Amino acid sequence: MSKLEIEDLRVSFASRSGPVPALRGVNISVDGGRLGIVGESGSGKSTMGRAIMGLLPPSAKVTARRFEFAGQDMLKASPAQKRAMRGRRIGMIMQDPRYALNPVTTVGAQIAECFRLHHGITGRAAKAKVLDLLAAVRINDPASVYDQYPHQVSGGMGQRVMIAIALAGEPELLIADEPTSALDASVRTSFLGLLDQIIKERGMSLILISHDLHLVSSFCDRVVVMYGGQVMEECTAADLANPHHAYTRALAACRPSLTERLPELRTFTRDPAWLEAKS
Ligand SMILES: Nc1ncnc2c1ncn2[C@@H]1O[C@H](COP(=O)(O)OP(=O)(O)O)[C@@H](O)[C@H]1O
Ligand SMILES: [Mg+2]
């Protein structure tokens, strides 16, 4: 299993008023299994996923004491080495298929392009691979979905297409950034069941990014809790039931309950010391 090892990762974005930090010294490692990254909006989760995928915009300044995947230094990798890694060894499922898929190209052609890019397979052989993959993500009628445009498929189906695209490179590590937030509750459950089966079948490692503490604790083995571009706490999913850090406790307490009626949703006050203590 290929190891991902990140130490002291810092990312800042250029702005007119100077660099804005998004990650401020993050450590994570993945060596098989499923890692959840959880935190509220703006805590730096997507920046983390994009940094690993090598997809940060040129305006991002990235430094790290260590940033390795499969023994390769990702910060020193050439653009060609990065391209060879992206999609091929590390796959990513984005939040919303409506924005991630190309609207003017059929679903089949988009997945076929991945086979060309990653494996040099084209023409009929590529089409056969795509149909197999659509069946593998439990799409009932692969031949008709192959010829559809993204706007013609439902949200749940679009998200299955996104998994198919991520799987085309046969990656060892899959990053899923809020993969269910564009789905309704019933579709969400079946999507997660599928993701679970596929990860098991293919023996991939997973990084699941979500704002949903409950989701990551039920789906992952280990969880990293982020706030303000820093890791507040890292623990096993089981330990999330008794969180150590005040931020994690506050996040858990904000989860709306199905049985308890509240006049308004709970929020919490952020303690400036949470950030100072770590930087
Ligand atoms: N391309 C970008 N340019 C400038 N700032 C960005 C960019 N992407 C993210 N940020 C900033 O980085 C911080 C973390 O964002 P993000 O990683 O998207 O958080 P999350 O996914 O946890 O909601 C935010 O303050 C956000 O505004
Ligand atoms: Mg995000």
Which residue CA neighbors atom 8 of ligand 1 most closely? 47
Residue whose CA is at the smallest distance from ligand 1 atom 25: 42
Q: How many domains does the chain have?
A: 1
Query: Which ligand 1 atom sits nearest the alpha carbon of residue 177?
Result: 21
Q: Is residue 197 part of a domain?
A: no
Nearest ligand (C-alpha, residue 47): 1
Residue 89's CB: how many other CB atoms inside 10 A? 17
Question: Three-state SS string across the chain, please?
Answer: CCCEEEEEEEEEECCCCCCEEEEEEEEEEECCCEEEEECCCCCCHHHHHHHHHCCCCCCEEEECCEEEECCEECCCCCHHHHHHHECCCEEEECCCHHHHCCCCCCHHHHHHHHHHHHHCCCHHHHHHHHHHHHHHCCCCCHHHHHCCCHHHCCHHHHHHHHHHHHHHCCCCEEEEECCCCCCCHHHHHHHHHHHHHHHHHHCCEEEEEECCHHHHHHHCCEEEEEECCEEEEEEECHHHHCCCCHHHHHHHHCCCCCCCCCCCCCCCCCCCHHHHCCC
Amino acid 278: pLDDT: 59
5 CA distance to ligand 2 middle (Å): 21
CA distance 127 to 68: 34
From atom 5 of ligand 1, which residue's Cα is the shortest distance away? Answer: 13
The predicted pLDDT at position 277 comes to: 59
Complete edge-to-edge strand list for the sheet that includes strand 90-93: 90-93, 173-177, 205-210, 34-38, 222-227, 230-236
In a domain, 97, yes or no: yes
Closest ligand 1 atom to 56 CA: 1
Kindly give the number of the ligand 1 atom that is closest to the alpha carbon of 44: 17
Residue 207 falls inside a structural domain: no
Asked if residue 155 belongs to a domain, the reply is yes
Residue 112 lies in a domain: yes
Nearest ligand atom owner, CA of 40: 1
Measured from the Cα of 178, ligand 1's closest atom is 21
27 within a domain of the structure (yes/no): no
Give pTM, 2 decimals.
0.92
Tokens coding 149: 């445009």
Please say whether the dihedral angle defined by the alpha carbons of residues 272, 277, 278 and 279, taken in this order, is positive or negative: positive
Q: Which of 9, 15, 20, 208 to mutate to test the pocket of ligand 1 (most atoms within 8 A of CB)?
A: 20
What's the CA-to-centroid distance between 126 and ligand 1, angstroms?
36
Q: What's the 124 CA to ligand 2 centre distance in angstroms?
A: 37
Tell me which residue range forms the domain holding 94.
90-170
Nearest alpha carbon to residue 239 among 228, 225, 226: 225
Q: Are the CB atoms for 44 and 215 separated by under 8 Å?
A: no
Distance in angstroms (rounded) separating the CA atoms of residues 184 and 158? 13
Residues with CB under 6 A from ligand 1: 13, 20, 22, 39, 41-47, 57, 59
Cα of 22 vs centre of ligand 1, distance in Å, is 6
- pLDDT (0 to 100) of residue 22: 97
- Kindly state whether residue 251 falls inside one of the protein's structural domains: no
Domain annotation covers residue 143:
yes
Tens digit of each residue's pLDDT, the chain (279 residues): 679 999 999 999 999 999 999 999 999 999 999 999 999 999 999 999 999 998 899 999 999 999 999 999 999 988 888 888 888 899 999 888 778 899 999 999 999 999 999 999 999 999 999 999 999 999 999 999 999 999 999 888 999 999 999 999 999 999 999 999 888 888 889 889 999 999 999 999 999 999 999 999 999 999 999 999 999 999 999 998 888 888 888 888 877 777 877 778 778 888 888 887 555
